[in-house]
Structure 1
Amino acid sequence: MAKISWNRKLLWLALIGIILYTGVIAISNGSSSGNDAENQPVPGIPSITKQEAESAAVTFLQQEYGIDGPMRTFVTYQTHKTISGYLQKEKLAELYDKQFSRLYPLDYFEVEAVDPDDGAIYYTDVNFNNSQIVAWSKQQSTALRKTIETSGQDRKKIAEQALVKRNLGLADFQLLKQSGADGALIFESQSQRIGDAPLRIRINVAGGAVTGFQPLYEAPSSYSAWQEDQDDSASWMTRISLLFTLFMALAAAVEVVKQRRFITFRHGVVLTVIFCAVYVANNINMYPSYKTISGTHLSGWEAISSLFVMNFVVFLMAASIYVSLLAGREMWLGHGWNAWPHRDSRMFGQEVLNGMGRGYLLCLFVLGVQQLLFFIAEKQFHVWAVNDPSDSVYNMLAPGLFPLMAWAAAISEEAVYRLFGIALFQRIVRNRFAAVLLPSMIWALSHTQYPIYPVYTRFIEVTIIGLIFGYAFLRYGFITVVFAHASMDSILMGLSLIDDGSAGDIATALFYMLLPGIVALVIAHFHRKRKSPFPRRHPDDR
């Protein structure tokens, strides 16, 4: 039976990574040990289920609007990104959580409910720590919006009655001169604020009744403008990454055409199909995220249309990955190095086992380095992050499938930015360090869209990780970095499943953390037991 060959240098690096990871966590926990968290829900983790949020929302709507009979519902997770970022930046998040989160949570479940009798659509925000109704709105038809413009009813009086009904004293709230773009009346509290963020109540009135009620601490305009600039910068960085990645894909396609007589075209098919299948499945799994994309409310058909567009993009990405796999392997063979052994090679099964072992060790080192970078960024440069509904497991149809994306990321990014990217830039710049650095920077630019501020810090962190993966690729080959990348993402994504601590989620997370090892053992077993003989003189066996 084939055995895993361990590398002593990587064992030492893995040990260093474990020490860094556990040491940073211990220091971070020690610095916050004095906080009184007894009987307090963990921020960002629901204390109720989506079904409980749905029930609370329907009960409220039936009482508020006199709706009889069942309603069609759909539940998503949402967050107030801007005020959350402001509180993080000003180090007010802990104070807010203690004083205001029970009434005005930053994270909540949004329940979309459709009245089957008249087709009216309601959006109800439910505090996912105590089931309280936080805000709601009724989608206004064209006819109803017209009544807002022509009605002579006293909208201000109706809005004030809504404040009194909810025990919000009129003396404390001042109606702002300006109103919302949607015709809402906005009241600002004269006493309730945190930092420079006042409590504001947005109330919609139409047809002589309240059709929308939303309380929210509103971040100062200066911070909102700063965060918008940061998001714009992240968008530009992402576009730059896409532009260079497109250039690399075209270069790979040209290389494949030039070397077509020497290329085995079936060699990259399996990995490309795996990427495509996992990514398409993940897009479908994230249907709830598409329902709330960019903070808007998409209908079912609009969300499905977005899914079709995204899956079309996935097929274009798959084509790019396929030509990168083919071109990258052939370019390294041209340099006299077999960076990715062919599966028909006698050494392939053993190389998979060795790559898996090296990959796990390398991933432990990278996790430690990443944790240290996060710690330095937070303590020295005051970097902070906000929750992102578009990537949350709470906005997935089957959260247990999410860690499979580790394999899509590992295959695609190591194929494009390591196997092919380093070979391409080495040909262009004729310098080994620059050849590793440039594709790492392009890869890092594509990660700046995550809600981590300031956005340039993610670029620095991922570039450093890219350098580690790049030199590991040059030392150990493509299989090792694919397993290292898949192992690292499997661990991180697995941890996202066990935040609530349920036995099922913990078991699922552990399975995914062990999956790279299972995959390697299965491949090695079937490679050894294959019925067809290996070619007598396969190029990889030279």
Structure 2
Amino acid sequence: MQANGRSIGQSRWRWAAWAGLILFALIQILPSALSSQTGGGTALSRDEAKRQALLIASERFGISADRVDRVLLVHTSNSKAVGYFSKEELLSRYQQEWEPNYPTDVYRADLVLAAGEGTLTLMLQMHSGQLVGWKDESGTHPAAGASQSDKRSFMDKAMAYASFFGVRAADWEPAEQGAPGTAVFHSRKSALGEARVRLEVQVPPGYEPASSAFPRWQGGSVTYAIEIPGDFTAYVEDQTRLSSRLNAIGFIVPHLVLFVMAIVYAGTRRKHTSFRRGIGFASVFFLFYVAFTFNMIPGLRAQVLEEGLPADDPLLTGVIVSTLIVVAVMAAFTYFSAVGGDGLWNSMGRSLWPRWRDRGFGDSVVVSMKQGYKLAFILMGVQSVILLGLQHGIGMFQASDATQSTYNMTYPWLLLLLAWCAGISEEIQSRFFGIALFRSWLVGGAKKVLGREPGKRSAAVLTLIAMLPPGLFWAFGHVSYAVYPAYSRVIELVLMGLLFGWFMLRFGLLAVIFAHITLDSFLMATQMVFDGLPGNLPVGILGIFLPAIVAYVIWWLHRGAAQPRPAG
């Protein structure tokens, strides 16, 4: 097999790929599979959850389906609780003891009623569809709080109200009177570590337990929360602020500078490249990410809700528009990085990206795809070892992020588009252009100091150093994920970035793009399978084979375009 004119030992790379795949299965797949056996099984689809919400509204609240104008469904998650259980290795106990009735993750169904009757919000267990909480979002004022002498009767009244909606009084003990008209109870179940469950009941004005009428839901609520230690909450909040600063200083600012540099070098190296380079990649990135953005509208709504803001349509529209603007800028950055990077590498005497007009372009794509799968398996194994080391070395742990979950996607299978967007944009921006830029500066600087071209060994060292800045910028772009400590992803991705850079120099741009896409496709397919949504398994398997399918389609199209046309 050939790549950029270099012979590759088939056996060595094949064995490395198999080793990487086995490590990935043992370190990441097997623990997830064992954990899923103690979970709730198959999750409700979004359509099933909406139907269940309407059924509960009719049976429990007397709201017929014709009174509901629309149902806004999002998956929400108590990220801090998930992080606490993960850090303290309590996830298995949580799944067995608490998840059926007090889940950290729920479907939140906002039933917007017609004729301005208000909004009823239902919280559903994601696997059983059981009602685990509800509240009135219409803004009705709650009843006034009780005096200290009347506290016991008020707490009894609140529990009687909650019992109408399925709460078992024997499971709870009175704790305190909260906000006006709200009673707080604690679960009698044993704590998990230092975590415990709190029930909050808001009693509507005029409610009397002795009344034979079914109680009104307007102005009331029955919700629960998982209380975790204050020091853990403070730690997560500090880490979140740190990750925001690292993302702004280490990713956003440097990438704005790189964007400007990409435009500059696309112009100054135009004799070594073509402005048609990168149009296809940038277009695929833009179209795929636009489709992904509209598919993630429920996730964007969840993001707004997490910020404590009302997820109304005008605000959500603003978030969508701003997201699309960022996508357009990233597509432009990808385009200029492709042109500028191609010009820089060609001017340095390296050809890392074949052209469509090359006679063997189709064959190069297929070879790069095959290389990409092997490299992806190696990367999966290396990443698994790094993650294992970080878990045992610095205590890395992961929380949840509902804004990126497949439960918040209109069509969960479109998650696979993100693998293509990341593989194209990140490899072209951070590796193809980023490494070329810093290498040209370092080698050019060495040439001025020495008065000659640096030697082969010196050039190799300078190339290695050139991989570090763009790899670091790329890593800082991932610190906003719910992984703690915030710097753990920086360590992981700087090391991964060095491997990606080495692979690009050895096998070419197309090989690392295929490797990145394949790696992300495996990770996303794994997420889809363990999320438990119906139909995700075959789609995930298809996503893993999709890079190969695309490569052979390109090969077939190029072969057809290269066929000589008959005379006449």
TM over 0.5: yes
Please name the residue that 1:61 is paired with. Answer: 57
In the TM superposition, 1:222-233 aligns within 5 A as 222-233=231-242
Compared CA separation, residues 278 and 255, structure 1 to 2 (3 A): same
Q: Distance in 1 between matches of 2:503 and 2:413?
A: 30
Superposed CA deviations along residues 387-431 of structure 1, whole A, max 9, x for unmatched, are 321111111111122212211111100111011100111234442
Q: Distance in 1 between matches of 2:419 and 2:552?
A: 18
Please name the residue that 1:251 is paired with. Answer: 261
Q: Is the 8 A contact 2:118 2:137 kept in 1?
A: yes
Please name the residue that 2:526 is paired with. Answer: 495
Please name the residue that 1:111 is paired with. Answer: 109
Superposed CA deviations along residues 5-42 of structure 1, whole A, max 9, x for unmatched, are 99644652442343244246447888899x8x8xx865
List gaps (5 residues or longer) in structure 2: 208-218, 444-461
Q: Is the 8 A contact 2:23 2:384 kept in 1?
A: no
1:410 aligns with 2:419: no
Please name the residue that 1:458 is paired with. Answer: 489
Q: Which secondary structure state, in structure 2, belongs to the residue aligned with residue 529 of structure 1?
A: helix
Please name the residue that 1:539 is paired with. Answer: none
In the TM superposition, 1:308-387 aligns within 5 A as 308-387=321-400
Q: CA deviation at 1:524?
A: 2.1
Q: Distance in 1 between matches of 2:116 and 2:18?
A: 59
Q: CA deviation at 1:532?
A: 8.4
Partner residue of 2:284 out of 269, 274, 281: 274
Q: Which moved further from structure 2: 5-14 or 505-514?
A: 5-14
Amino acid paired to 2:56: F
Q: CA deviation at 1:475?
A: 1.4
Please name the residue that 2:86 is paired with. Answer: 88
Please name the residue that 1:162 is paired with. Answer: 161
Superposed CA deviations along residues 115-150 of structure 1, whole A, max 9, x for unmatched, are 214341121111123222111111133xx34x6579
Q: CA deviation at 1:243?
A: 0.9
Q: Which secondary structure state, in structure 2, belongs to the residue aligned with residue 217 of structure 1?
A: strand
Q: CA deviation at 1:461?
A: 1.1
Please name the residue that 2:456 is paired with. Answer: none
Please name the residue that 2:132 is paired with. Answer: 134
Please name the residue that 1:98 is paired with. Answer: 96
Compared CA separation, residues 313 and 118, structure 1 to 2 (3 A): same
Q: CA deviation at 1:320?
A: 0.9
Q: CA deviation at 1:173?
A: 1.9
Q: Is the 8 A contact 1:252 1:327 kept in 2?
A: yes
Q: Is the 8 A contact 2:273 2:346 kept in 1?
A: no
Amino acid paired to 1:175: E
Compared CA separation, residues 309 and 149, structure 1 to 2 (3 A): farther
Amino acid paired to 1:123: T
Please name the residue that 2:434 is paired with. Answer: 421
Q: Distance in 2 between matches of 1:183 and 1:314?
A: 46
Amino acid paired to 2:227: E
Partner residue of 1:446 out of 467, 470, 477: 477
Q: Distance in 2 between matches of 1:309 and 1:369?
A: 36
Identity of aligned residues (%): 27
Please name the residue that 2:22 is paired with. Answer: 22
Superposed CA deviations along residues 142-175 of structure 1, whole A, max 9, x for unmatched, are xx34x65799999756434335552234982210
Partner residue of 2:405 out of 392, 411, 422: 392
Q: Distance in 2 between matches of 1:104 and 1:171?
A: 13
Q: Distance in 2 between matches of 1:229 and 1:10?
A: 48
Q: Distance in 1 between matches of 2:520 and 2:400?
A: 18
1:219 aligns with 2:218: no
Amino acid paired to 1:243: V
Please name the residue that 2:175 is paired with. Answer: 174
Q: TM-score, normalised by structure 2?
A: 0.83
Q: Is the 8 A contact 2:3 2:508 kept in 1?
A: no
Q: Is the 8 A contact 1:6 1:358 kept in 2?
A: no
Amino acid paired to 1:455: A
Please name the residue that 1:50 is paired with. Answer: 46
Compared CA separation, residues 245 and 108, structure 1 to 2 (3 A): same
Please name the residue that 1:538 is paired with. Answer: none
| Aligned CA-pair RMSD | 3.3
Compared CA separation, residues 21 and 520, structure 1 to 2 (3 A): closer
Amino acid paired to 1:126: L
Q: CA deviation at 1:513?
A: 1.4
Q: Distance in 2 between matches of 1:275 and 1:32?
A: 31
Q: Is the 8 A contact 1:6 1:354 kept in 2?
A: no
Partner residue of 1:193 out of 191, 194, 207: 191
Q: Which secondary structure state, in structure 2, belongs to the residue aligned with residue 444 of structure 1?
A: helix
Please name the residue that 2:459 is paired with. Answer: none
Q: Distance in 2 between matches of 1:60 and 1:110?
A: 13
Q: TM-score, normalised by structure 1?
A: 0.87
Q: Distance in 1 between matches of 2:470 and 2:146?
A: 61
Compared CA separation, residues 427 and 27, structure 1 to 2 (3 A): closer
Q: Distance in 2 between matches of 1:377 and 1:79?
A: 25
Q: Is the 8 A contact 1:3 1:353 kept in 2?
A: no
Q: CA deviation at 1:527?
A: 1.9
Compared CA separation, residues 223 and 119, structure 1 to 2 (3 A): same
Q: CA deviation at 1:369?
A: 0.8
Q: CA deviation at 1:62?
A: 3.2
Q: Distance in 2 between matches of 1:280 and 1:419?
A: 24
List gaps (5 residues or longer) in structure 1: 535-542
Compared CA separation, residues 187 and 353, structure 1 to 2 (3 A): same
Q: Distance in 1 between matches of 2:12 and 2:181?
A: 63
Please name the residue that 1:125 is paired with. Answer: 123
Q: Distance in 2 between matches of 1:378 and 1:236?
A: 23
Q: Is the 8 A contact 1:173 1:190 kept in 2?
A: no
Q: Distance in 2 between matches of 1:194 and 1:423?
A: 52
Please name the residue that 1:435 is paired with. Answer: 466
Q: Which secondary structure state, in structure 1, belongs to the residue aligned with residue 158 of structure 2?
A: helix
Q: Is the 8 A contact 1:4 1:354 kept in 2?
A: no
Q: Distance in 2 between matches of 1:3 and 1:109?
A: 49
Q: Is the 8 A contact 2:45 2:407 kept in 1?
A: no
Please name the residue that 1:238 is paired with. Answer: 247
Q: Distance in 2 between matches of 1:237 and 1:398?
A: 32
Q: Distance in 1 between matches of 2:160 and 2:353?
A: 71
